[in-house]
């Protein structure tokens, strides 16, 4: 069958609930990530030894940590680095992966061989290992862990883009363009890409969630964000010694992380529903 | 009246979903008597497959059936689901359309056939497997033991369908449902399967419910025919009446008039205009009114089925009045009706000459081509890449304004050859001269210029238009690319093109998904015409369309050819379509031409044994057409990976002479100017064969 | 089939070789002076130079790599700089401990994940399906390290059922051994189980709508048998591929989980090595991880081949 779903794409239907909710919550989280410092009731590293490890209250919504800092404010601040790492890493994998995938899919022959074999090697590295490898040899920092996570997902983007590209290239309208003697770039950008982006966008949403979680895991291991700056992963790591006395210090950023990931997953599902209902979820 | 195996009374099925309800079947009734075959005929959307599922009790979740389905006098919907299940496969069995997906890919074929025997008859596994082999033998499989142990992917389409028929036969059912059992198969394989079903029917006194869109196939097997349109029975009666001159309903008239026929090569077909009504809406009057050329005042009333003869009913109040009025409908589809007045005169100057075109595809290469073989001695590893000779030294020339039909079974290389001619596929050898200039060796710039003159129309209307572009964008691109017009002029050209393919200018702003299959195909044709080509490859251009739509596209293509003096290479697996439109026919087998000549000559002896076999495989409905002798080909086409020695067709040829066919390339024998047959059998003997068709009337 | 397996085998060899070069090259440019680390703070410059000479650190990098790779092929992984002991025995202990975690996790993921997926597919649209879908949706969004934290808060702190950290060997009693294992395994499998279950559900749904399942029903095959005999095997094919990929995710999880639970496995060893800049140990850990992952993929390939007759038997034989 020839792209039946895409044929029905522009039809006007009510937006799926998952899209509305996902986009709404994610927009809220994004807003917090940008405006966090202005919204926060306290400064994120304002210590107060007298107020150590206070339980959540009307003043300190999420309680205070071991230095008496306001956990709620820190969660708001942490959003920025967590989200930035997730989106940044995904953008890196998009920026490298999509062009490579298009080249491999469209030009075939030796470029495809070279790209796909490289991808095979990269994909045979367990996801966290590349991050560990890069961060092991240099001083950790946010942009490095974003880069590491981004590079990990390049092979997945290349494979997806290539397979979508090959699928669209099998369509007769691409043959028609070739029969007109159209140049490669025209076919690639005007005929193939407009039909290839829906699954890529859906995959991108999924990648952002994985990148956020992986980035947080690296920070948690001390290989990402360095104190005094903080993201949700590092906050949980720092709270670990006190989880029995003051569980809220660890739980609050964790829940923020989970809600963000669920929101992006919802957004991805909604996008898939309106863009490309055929695509399977759960592709890694 | 004899005993009814199946008696369906007032069956209505509606699909619920998304808050909408859509009727698939509307109060239909039919009965099948013991040992009889009921043919159910209809185009896509007629509800014929829903009828099959309703009889089996296997309607999908959202479907709501009402009415009665009496099997041997008992309503199957009054039974419990468990009782219905016990009926399936034991007393009612089914063969589906697509043999490629109907067998479980991970279970051996024999086990799948044995399954109902073990389930319903309580047979031991070993005995059941033995019985499965017997069944495979009965359905004409030559090596049942090996086939039973094979997995589905190891069998050809025809063999899979035989295995599925064997499964359906396993428990000796009372009723067998056949849902388009030959639609996915090549015409020669279709003929084999129809022969098999005919023989089984007699041998086992089977009752069958035979569903098909193909009137010819229905005509081969059915005793009675039920014509479905948009979920309604519109005509129902004995085969000879409904598919013969006695048919009464306008829709049946339309269907028969749209059909290209081998024996009656009229210049024009008479298609059914318009499209299927929206089945989620209630239609107050006659369901066919909107598309019926005979519609008049009284048609606004609901139409009951009325008796128009012995055992013959029709859902049209004017049935008898219109008995002798032939179907004449205009083929305008949402646009201007136009009709070429120019006479078709093929054979101007030489336009395109292809010489010795060769295309090989590498099938196996790299590591998978490494073969481990310790038996032969020496180093046990060997590198054996395999390449398929899709097109093997084909030479063909086409004149201006001429239509050359290219026919052959799937896998014979016809599409590949067509694409080589416009360099969509780069051949490895040979030359393709367009007005004397070689396309294959042309510089990139020159190649682009030549592409303006040679275009292509594709098979699949859903795939041939970019779903993200409007019709205007689609058509404007070639106009600009080839510098045919600029600025505001482009829009005028687009309208002109739409007019040419009989679509109104308002189609310009539509997206592909807002159009029907026939309309999309018209846009595809307009796009090919945009660059004002002189040569167009039509690759199965009407194969994906319903009969009524197919007819209007064929008419359009014929008109355009006459108006614009373009030449077509018309590729199709359907000889009736080819012979309707083509001036000359080229018959291809395993990558090479076996016969080439004017259409009239191809359809009559002397012809190549392969042509003869193709002709006798075509199922006919025309009265007067008869296939005097049925030639059947065993097996199916296999791609050739090695250099072909001798005749291409010798592996399946029913008239094979012997050793000479295997070793010596057959000579081209010519019966008349421009007619060549590549065969070792002398022309006199070939001429002596009895004609498959009755002698043809000359084209009017 | 022979060609296919040979191809896969060759492939894995190439990948491990490429990875070994990559690992060696990257870790070799690591800051931190090996000789300095061995000799300690009080070593003189000439001592360091002499030791570097002895260790071959002045040789061109490809000579160093070759020496390392040769050792690798003979299971000689060099000495740990920090622990000043041969790496191989340390590593084998760690691998053993991690293998217990990994195998029980992947087994659990496969069993429970597939079961949940099949369950919700055959109860499609019913309450059970909705509950499983919702649960997996949330579970999928929780990273392993947060699972660890939650589990520790609940089961260690609040309920006090399990010890927080550490490992005891099986010889000290099954109960104590299992007690130390349960929380890490649960933390590891939650996300993966959700992943496998969602995938199995969607491929099972697809198969249940296939023509051959319809054909089986039309033969009168009872629904239970339709699921077991006709649907399951075909639906599991994509799950196997994903399980192999999940082994990679699992390894990431193991690093995190072992660190949190102070479980003496490969993951903790690797983090320890990274923190201590113990270059030979880092190299050894990474190459082992790569090999294990490659072997897991090979096993998945073999299993896939076994379940898929299309690969097991060559294609079409006409008769």
Q: Map C105-148 to HEC letters.
A: HHHHHHHHHHHHHHHHHHCCCCHHHHHHHHHHHHHCCCCHHHHH
Considering the domain architecture, whether residues B654 and B548 belong to the same structural domain is answered as no
Give me B685's structure tokens. 């003997």
Q: What percent of chain B is predicted at pLDDT more than 70?
A: 90
Q: Under an 8 A CB cutoff, do B85 and C6 touch?
A: no
Residue A13: the pLDDT is 61
Assign domain C97-307 to a CATH class: mainly alpha
Beta strands across the sheet bearing B567-572: B454-457, B535-539, B567-572, B403-407, B584-589, B592-598, B675-678, B668-672
Say which CATH number the domain at B462 has: 3.40.50.300
Task: Tell me how far apart the alpha carbons of residues C279 and C273 are, in angstroms, rounded to a whole number.
Answer: 7
Q: What is the ipTM of this complex?
A: 0.83
Task: For residues B534 and B645, state if they share a domain.
Answer: no
> Does C286 contact A129 at a Cβ distance shorter than 8 Å?
yes
Give the list of residues 6+ apart from residue C234 with CB closer than 8 angstroms, or none: B104, B105, B106, C207, C210
Q: Considering its fold, how many domains does chain B have in total?
A: 3
Answer yes or no: do B256 and B334 share one domain.
yes
Same domain, B576 and B611: no
**Best CA proximity match to B540, nearest among B458, B462, B456, B465:** B458
Query: B463 to chain A: which residues are within 8 Å by CB?
Result: 2-3, 171-173
Say whether pLDDT at B625 is over 50: no
Structure-token match 């089984």, residue found: B200
Classify residue C154 by its DSSP letter: I
Specify whether B500 is located in the same domain as B562: yes
Task: Judge whether B425 and B354 are in contact, CB under 8 Å.
Answer: no
H/E element, B585: strand B584-589
Chains that touch B (3 or more CB pairs under 8 A): A, C
| C-beta neighbour count of C100 within 10 angstroms | 17
For the record, the structure tokens of B491 come out as 């829009």
Tokens (6 digits) for B396: 């063909």
Distance from C-alpha of C224 to C-alpha of C235, rounded to nearest angstrom:
15
- Are B305 and B453 part of one and the same domain? no
Classify residue A211: in a domain, yes or no. Answer: yes
Tell the burial category of B61 from Cβ atoms under 10 Å away from its Cβ (0-12, 13-18, 19+). exposed
Task: Please give the helix or strand (H or E) that residue B670 lies within, else none.
Answer: strand B668-672
- Calpha distance B206→B177 (Å, rounded): 10
Ordered DSSP codes for B495-542: HHHHHHTT--GGGGG--GGGS-HHHHHHHHHHHHHTT--SEEEEESTT
Strand pairing report for B207-212 and B4-17 = unpaired
- Residue B473: asked if its preceding bond is cis (omega within 30°), the reply is no
Q: Report the gap between the CA of A179 and the closest CA in chain B (Å).
A: 6
Beta strands in B48-174 (DSSP E): 63-71, 74-75, 92-95
In the sheet that holds B92-95, the strands lie side by side as B92-95, B175-179, B207-212, B37-41, B224-229, B232-238, B312-314, B306-309
CB distance C157–A257 less than 8 Å?
no
Q: Where are the beta strands (DSSP E) in B330-417?
A: 350-364, 370-372, 381-383, 386-399, 403-407
Positive/negative CA dihedral, B589, B595, B600, B605: negative
pLDDT at site C215: 93
- pLDDT digit string (tens) for C101-135? 999 999 999 999 999 999 999 998 889 999 998 99
Strand, helix or coil for residue B480: helix
What pLDDT does residue C41 have? 65
- Assign B522 a pLDDT band (cuts: 50, 70, 90): very high
Is the domain of B437 the same as that of B561? yes
The domain segmentation of chain C, as residue ranges, is 97-307
Facing residue for A128 by CB, picked from C22, C252, C297:
C252
Name which of A91, A104, A84, A89 is nearest A196 in CA terms.
A104
Taking only the tens place, the pLDDT of each residue in B74-130 is 999 998 989 999 999 999 999 998 888 999 998 999 999 999 999 999 999 999 999
Instruction: Give the DSSP H/E element, type plus range, for residue B659.
Output: helix B659-663
Q: Judge whether B543 and B364 are in contact, CB under 8 Å.
A: no
Let me know whether B309 and B443 are in one domain.
no
Q: Which of B534, B555, B585 is the last residue of a domain?
A: B585
Residues 6+ apart with CB under 8 A from C310: B105, B151, B153
Is A3 part of any domain? no
In 3D, which of B278, B287, B286, B270 has the Cα closest to residue B332?
B270
- Nearest one of A2, A21, A1, A19 to A274, comparing CA atoms: A19
Q: Chains meeting C at 3+ CB pairs closer than 8 A?
A: A, B
- For residue B361, tell me if it sits in a domain: no
User: Which residues are B123's β-sheet partners?
Assistant: none
HEC string of B30-48?
EEEECCCEEEEECCCCCCH
What is the pLDDT at residue C73?
80
Q: Where are the beta strands (DSSP E) in B141-252?
A: 175-179, 207-212, 224-229, 232-238
Number of domains in chain A: 1
| Residue positions counted in chain A | 284
CA nearest neighbour of B545 among B536, B537, B535, B556: B556
Nearest to B153 among C217, C310, C319 (CB): C310
Q: Give the CA count within 13 Å in the CB-facing half-sphere of B583.
A: 21
Contact status of A49 with chain C (Cβ, < 8 Å): no
Phi, psi of A109 (to 5 degrees): 60, -145
Residue B597, helix vs strand vs coil: strand
Question: pLDDT tens digit string along B419-436?
Answer: 999 999 899 989 999 988
Q: Among A52-61, B207-216, B367-376, whose mean pLDDT is lowest?
A: B367-376
The rounded mean pLDDT for chain A is 80
Task: Suggest the residue from A109, A167, A173, A199 to mutate for an interface test with chain B (most B CBs closer than 10 A).
Answer: A173
The residues, ordered by sequence, that sit 6+ positions from C100 with a Cβ below 8 Å of its Cβ are: C181
Instruction: Say if residue B529 is in the same domain as residue B476.
Output: yes
Picking from C4, C220, C308, the nearest residue to B119 by CB comes out as C220
Q: What is the CATH number of the domain that holds A215?
A: 1.10.3720.10
Chain C residues within an 8 Å CB radius of B147? 319
Q: Looking at the predicted structure, is the pLDDT value of residue A85 above 70?
A: yes
Q: Which of C143, C294, C297 sits opposite A217 (nearest CB)?
A: C143
DSSP state of B666: P
For C259, phi then psi, to 5°, come to -65, -45
**Could you tell me if B143 lies within 8 Å of chain A, comparing CB atoms?**
no
Out of C137, C245, C297, name the one closest to residue A284 (CB).
C245
Predicted confidence (pLDDT) at residue B244 exceeds the cutoff of 70 = yes
Residues composing chain B: 700
pLDDT in tens, B297-355: 888 888 888 888 888 999 988 888 888 788 875 544 433 334 444 556 666 788 999 99
Lowest mean pLDDT across A207-211, B563-567, B621-625: B621-625
**DSSP alpha helices (H): ranges in A172-231?**
172-179, 184-186, 193-220
- Return the percentage of chain B with pLDDT > 90, whole number: 38
Residues B504 and B571 in one domain: yes
Q: Is B414 within 8 Å of B459 (Cβ atoms)? A: no
The parent domain of residue B605 ranges over: 598-688
Task: Check C319 against B56: CB less than 8 A apart.
Answer: no
Domain that holds residue A159: 28-37+60-277
pLDDT at B6: 93
CB contact under 8 A, B467 and A11: no
Instruction: Please state the φ and ψ torsions of residue B53, each to the nearest 5 degrees.
Output: -65, -35
B557, B609: one domain: no
- Least-confidence region, from A259-268, B131-140, B537-546, C237-246: C237-246
List Cα–Cα distances, B663 to A88, B179, B660, C310, in angstroms.
Answer: 68, 43, 5, 35
Q: Measure the CA–CA gap between B564 and B556, rounded to whole angstroms.
A: 12
Which of B365, B468, B469, B569 should one mutate to test binding to chain A, selecting the residue with the greatest count of A CBs within 10 A? B468
Same domain flag for B502 and B647 = no
The enclosing H or E element of B587 equals strand B584-589
CA–CA dist B669, B653 (Å, integer):
17
CA torsion sign for C119, C125, C126, C128 is: positive
Sorting pLDDT into bands at 50, 70 and 90, what band is A279?
Answer: very low
Residue B119 Cα, gap to closest chain C Cα (Å): 7
CB B587 within 8 A of CB B608: yes
Chain A residues close to B482, C-beta within 8 Å: 180
Non-local CB neighbours of B517 within 8 Å, separated by 6+ positions: B461, B462, B544, B545, B546, B549
Of residues A173, A181, A191, nearest to B463 (C-beta): A173
Please state the rounded mean pLDDT for residues B675-680: 91
Give long-range contacts, CB 8 A cutoff, 24+ apart: B340-344. Answer: B340/B558, B340/B559, B340/B560, B340/B562, B340/B563, B342/B562, B342/B563, B343/B562, B344/B267, B344/B401, B344/B558, B344/B561, B344/B562
Question: Which 3 state secondary structure label does DSSP give C162?
Answer: coil
Which residues 272-291 on chain C approach chain A with CB closer than 8 angstroms?
274-275, 282, 286, 289-290
Give the side-chain half-sphere CA count within 13 A for B561.
30
Chain B residue numbers touching A196 (CB-CB < 8 A): none
User: Does residue B147 form part of some domain?
Assistant: no
Average pLDDT of span B51-69: 88
pLDDT score, position B370:
64
Q: Kindly give the parts of chain C with pLDDT less than 50.
A: 315-319
- Count the residues in chain C: 319
- In a 13 Å sphere around the CA of A219, the CA atoms on its Cβ side amount to 34
């Amino acid at each position: 069958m020839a792209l039946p779903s895409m044929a029905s794409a522009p039809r006007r239907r009510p937006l799926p609930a998952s899209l509305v909710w996902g986009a709404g919550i994610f927009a809220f989280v994004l807003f917090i990530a940008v405006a966090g410092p202005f919204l926060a009731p306290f400064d994120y590293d304002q210590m107060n030894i007298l107020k150590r490890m206070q339980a959540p209250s009307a003043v300190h919504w999420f309680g205070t940590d071991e230095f008496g800092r306001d956990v709620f404010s820190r969660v708001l601040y942490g959003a920025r680095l967590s989200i930035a790492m997730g989106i940044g890493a995904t953008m890196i994998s998009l920026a490298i992966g999509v062009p490579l995938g298009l080249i491999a899919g469209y030009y075939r022959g030796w470029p495809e061989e070279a790209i796909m074999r490289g991808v095979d090697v990269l994909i045979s590295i367990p996801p966290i290992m590349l991050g560990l490898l890069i961060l092991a040899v240099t001083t950790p920092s946010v942009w490095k862990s974003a880069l590491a996570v981004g590079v990990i997902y390049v092979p997945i983007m290349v494979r997806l883009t290539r397979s979508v590209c090959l699928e669209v290239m099998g369509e007769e309208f691409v043959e028609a363009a070739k029969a007109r003697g159209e140049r490669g770039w025209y076919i690639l950008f005007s005929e193939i890409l407009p039909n290839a982006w829906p699954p890529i966008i859906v995959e991108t949403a999924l990648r952002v969630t994985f990148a956020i979680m992986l980035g947080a895991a690296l920070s948690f291991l001390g290989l990402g964000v360095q104190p005094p700056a903080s993201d949700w992963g590092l906050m949980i790591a720092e709270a670990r010694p006190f989880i029995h006395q003051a569980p809220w210090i660890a739980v609050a950023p964790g829940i923020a992380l989970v809600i963000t990931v669920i929101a992006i997953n919802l957004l991805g599902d909604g996008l898939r529903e309106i863009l490309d209902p055929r695509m399977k979820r759960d592709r890694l | 009246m004899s005993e009814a195996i199946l008696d369906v009374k007032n069956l209505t099925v509606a699909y619920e979903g998304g808050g909408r309800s859509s009727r698939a079947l509307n109060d239909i009734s039919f009965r099948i008597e013991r040992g009889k075959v009921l043919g159910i005929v209809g185009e896509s959307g007629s509800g014929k497959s829903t009828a099959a599922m309703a009889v089996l009790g296997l309607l999908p979740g959202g479907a709501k059936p009402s009415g009665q389905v009496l099997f041997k006098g008992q309503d199957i919907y009054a039974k419990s689901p468990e009782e219905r299940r016990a009926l399936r496969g034991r007393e009612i069995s089914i063969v589906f359309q697509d043999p490629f997906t109907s067998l479980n890919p991970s279970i051996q074929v024999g086990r799948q056939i044995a399954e109902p025997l073990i389930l319903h008859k309580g047979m031991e596994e070993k005995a059941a497997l033995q019985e499965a082999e017997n069944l495979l033998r009965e359905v004409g499989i030559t090596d049942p033991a090996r086939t039973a142990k094979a997995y589905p992917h190891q069998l050809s389409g025809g063999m899979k369908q035989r295995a599925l028929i064997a499964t359906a036969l396993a428990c000796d059912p009372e009723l067998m449902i056949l849902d388009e059992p030959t639609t996915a198969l090549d015409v020669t394989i279709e003929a084999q399967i129809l022969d098999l079903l005919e023989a089984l029917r007699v041998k086992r006194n089977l009752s069958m419910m035979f569903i098909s869109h193909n009137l010819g196939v229905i005509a081969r097997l059915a005793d009675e025919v039920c014509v479905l349109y948009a979920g309604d029975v519109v005509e129902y009666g004995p085969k000879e009446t409904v598919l013969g001159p006695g048919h009464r309903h306008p829709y049946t008239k339309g269907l028969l008039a749209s059909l290209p026929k081998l024996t009656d090569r009229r210049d024009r077909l008479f298609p059914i205009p318009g499209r299927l009504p929206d089945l989620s809406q209630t239609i107050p009057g006659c369901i066919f009114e909107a598309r019926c050329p005979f519609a008049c005042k009284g048609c606004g009333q609901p139409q009951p089925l009325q008796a128009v003869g012995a055992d013959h009913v029709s859902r049209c109040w004017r049935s008898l009045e219109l008995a002798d009025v032939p179907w004449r409908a205009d083929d305008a589809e949402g646009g201007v009706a136009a009709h070429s007045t120019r006479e078709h005169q093929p054979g101007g100057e030489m336009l395109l000459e292809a010489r010795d075109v060769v295309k090989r595809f590498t099938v196996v290469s790299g590591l998978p081509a490494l073969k481990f073989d310790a038996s032969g001695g020496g180093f046990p590893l060997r590198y054996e890449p395999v390449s398929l000779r899709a097109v093997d030294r084909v030479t063909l020339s086409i004149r201006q304004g001429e239509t050359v039909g290219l026919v052959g079974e799937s896998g014979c290389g016809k599409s590949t050859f067509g694409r080589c001619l416009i360099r969509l596929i780069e051949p490895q050898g040979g030359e393709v001269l367009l007005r004397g200039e070689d396309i294959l060796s042309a510089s990139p710039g020159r190649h682009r210029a030549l592409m303006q003159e040679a275009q292509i129309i594709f098979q699949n209307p859903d795939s041939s238009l970019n779903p993200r572009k409007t019709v205007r964008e689609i058509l404007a691109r070639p106009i600009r690319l080839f510098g045919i017009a600029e600025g505001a002029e482009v829009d005028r050209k687009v309208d002109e093109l739409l007019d040419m393919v009989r679509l109104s200018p308002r189609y310009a702003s539509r997206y592909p998904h807002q159009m029907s299959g026939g309309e999309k195909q018209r846009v595809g044709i307009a796009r090919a015409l945009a660059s004002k080509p002189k040569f167009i490859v039509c690759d199965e251009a009407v194969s994906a369309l319903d009969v009524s739509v197919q007819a209007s596209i064929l008419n359009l293509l014929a008109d355009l050819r006459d108006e614009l003096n373009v030449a077509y290479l018309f590729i199709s697996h359907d000889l009736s379509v080819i012979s309707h439109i083509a001036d000359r026919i080229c018959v291809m087998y395993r990558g090479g031409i076996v016969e080439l000549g004017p259409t009239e000559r191809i359809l009559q002896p002397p012809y190549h044994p392969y042509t003869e076999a193709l002709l006798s495989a075509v199922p006919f409905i025309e009265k007067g057409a008869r296939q005097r002798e049925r030639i059947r080909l065993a097996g199916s086409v296999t791609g050739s990976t090695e250099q072909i020695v001798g005749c291409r067709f010798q592996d399946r040829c029913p008239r094979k002479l012997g050793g000479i066919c295997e070793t010596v390339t057959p000579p081209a024998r010519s019966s008349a100017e421009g007619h060549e047959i590549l065969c070792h059998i002398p022309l006199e003997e070939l001429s002596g064969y009895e004609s498959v068709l009755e002698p043809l009337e000359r084209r009017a | 089939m022979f060609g296919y397996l040979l191809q896969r085998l060759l492939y894995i060899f190439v990948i491990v070789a490429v990875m070994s070069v990559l690992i060696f090259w990257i870790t070799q440019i690591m800051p931190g002076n090996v000789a300095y680390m061995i000799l300690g703070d009080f070593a003189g410059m000439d001592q360091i130079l002499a030791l570097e000479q002895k260790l071959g650190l002045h040789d061109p990098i490809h000579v160093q790599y070759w020496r390392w790779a040769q050792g690798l092929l003979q299971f000689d992984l060099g000495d740990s700089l920090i622990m000043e002991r041969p790496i191989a025995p340390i590593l084998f202990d760690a691998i053993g401990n991690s293998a217990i975690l990994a195998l029980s996790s992947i087994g659990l993921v496969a069993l429970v994940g597939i079961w949940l997926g099949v369950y919700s597919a055959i109860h499609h649209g019913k309450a059970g399906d909705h509950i499983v879908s919702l649960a997996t949706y949330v579970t999928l969004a929780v990273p392993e390290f947060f699972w660890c934290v939650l589990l520790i808060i609940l089961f260690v702190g609040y309920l006090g059922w399990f010890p927080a950290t550490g490992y005891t060997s099986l010889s000290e009693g099954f109960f104590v051994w299992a007690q130390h294992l349960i929380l890490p395994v649960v933390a590891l499998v939650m996300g993966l189980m959700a992943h496998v279950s969602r995938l199995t559900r969607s491929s099972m749904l697809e198969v249940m709508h296939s023509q051959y399942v319809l054909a089986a029903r039309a033969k009168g095959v009872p629904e239970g048998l339709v699921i077991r005999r006709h649907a399951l095997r075909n639906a599991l094919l994509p799950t196997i591929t994903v399980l192999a990929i999940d082994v990679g995710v699992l390894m990431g999880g193991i690093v995190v989980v072992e660190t949190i639970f102070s479980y003496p496995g490969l993951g903790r060893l690797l983090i320890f090595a990274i923190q201590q800049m113990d270059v030979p140990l880092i190299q050894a850990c990474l190459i082992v991880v790569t090999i294990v992952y490659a072997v897991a993929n090979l096993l998945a390939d073999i299993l896939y081949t076994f379940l898929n007759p299309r690969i097991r038997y060559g294609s079409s034989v006409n008769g």
